[in-house]
Amino acid sequence: MMNNIGSRLVEYRAKNRLSQAEMAEKCGVSTQTISLVERGQQKPNRVTLVKIEMVIGKGEEENENEI
């Protein structure tokens, strides 16, 4: 099962027609990080999570439990 932040990343990218590379650039992280998070193979550390959330927006406070 895909983690919540990963599914939100996929949805955001699809909605905004962004590649993983474009998303990585917007977030200030590597393309590999975006790929791994989307596939649920890596949970972002706090700094990376903040960077991602600044781009996609924080919908709920549940992300605090994902780390």
pTM score: 0.79
The whole-angstrom separation of Cα 14 and Cα 1 is: 19
Instruction: Fill in the DSSP letter of residue 26.
Output: H
pLDDT for 33 equals 97
Domain encompassing residue 8? 4-56
Structure tokens at 2: 């895909």
**In-domain check, residue 48:** yes
- Return averaged pLDDT per consecutive 10 residues of the chain, 67 residues in all: 80 96 97 97 95 80 43
pLDDT for 63 equals 40
**In-domain check, residue 67:** no
**In-domain check, residue 42:** yes
Residue whose C-alpha is closest to residue 46's, from 65, 60, 67: 67
For position 16, which CATH number holds? 1.10.260.40
**In-domain check, residue 61:** no
In this structure, are residues 55 and 4 in contact, taking their beta carbons and an 8 Å threshold?
Answer: no
- The total number of structural domains in the chain stands at 1
